[in-house]
Amino acid sequence: MRSFRKELWFEVPDRRGLVNITADVEAAVRASGVQEGLVLVNAMHITASVFINDDEAGLHHDYDKWLEGLAPHAPTSQYRHNETGEDNADAHLKRQIMGREVVVAITAGKLDFGPWEQIFYGEFDGRRRKQALIKIIGD
C-alpha cells in the first residue's frame, strides 16, 4: 500500500472565505500514483473547515449568511471564549458545523465524486497563514 502526504497553505484575506481546492486534491492524487484507495483532506486549524458541496456562488452566499446567523461574529462579548483575549469564538462554532475533514474514494486514479461535488477549504478566522492536509493511501 502506498501513502502520500501534501500540505496546502492558505492566507484568506478576509475573516471568512471559501476556497475550491478540488484541483489541488486531484493533482495530489495524480502525484501519489494511487489508483484505488482513499484521500483524506482536513483543515489543520480549529477555525477552518474542509467540506464537499456544489461550487455555486448563490450557495456560497447562503452558507455565509446561514453560518453568520447561527454563530454571529459580533458582538464578540457574547462568547465566553473571547474573554481569553480572542475574538474568534464564532469561527470555532462555524468550524464545528461545517466539519473538519472529508474522505473521498479514489477509483481508477480519480476522485470518485457524485454529480456537482467539489472540495472546499472554509475559512472562518482568516487574515493569517493556515494549512490543510491531504493524505492518500491505497494501491
Q: Hey, CA dihedral for 15, 102, 44, 6, is it positive or negative? A: negative
Pairing of strands 110-111, 101-107: antiparallel
pTM over 0.75: yes
Tell me how many domains the chain contains: 1
Model confidence pLDDT, tens digit, residues 76-128: 999 999 999 999 999 999 999 999 999 999 999 999 999 999 999 999 999 99
C-alpha cell at 9: 497553505
Cα dihedral value 81, 84, 87, 88, nearest 10: -50
Model confidence pLDDT, tens digit, residues 34-48: 999 999 999 999 999
Q: What is the mean pLDDT of the chain?
A: 98
Structural domain range at position 91: 2-138
Q: Hey, CA dihedral for 54, 58, 62, 68, is it positive or negative? A: positive
Domain with residue 32: its CATH number is 2.60.120.460
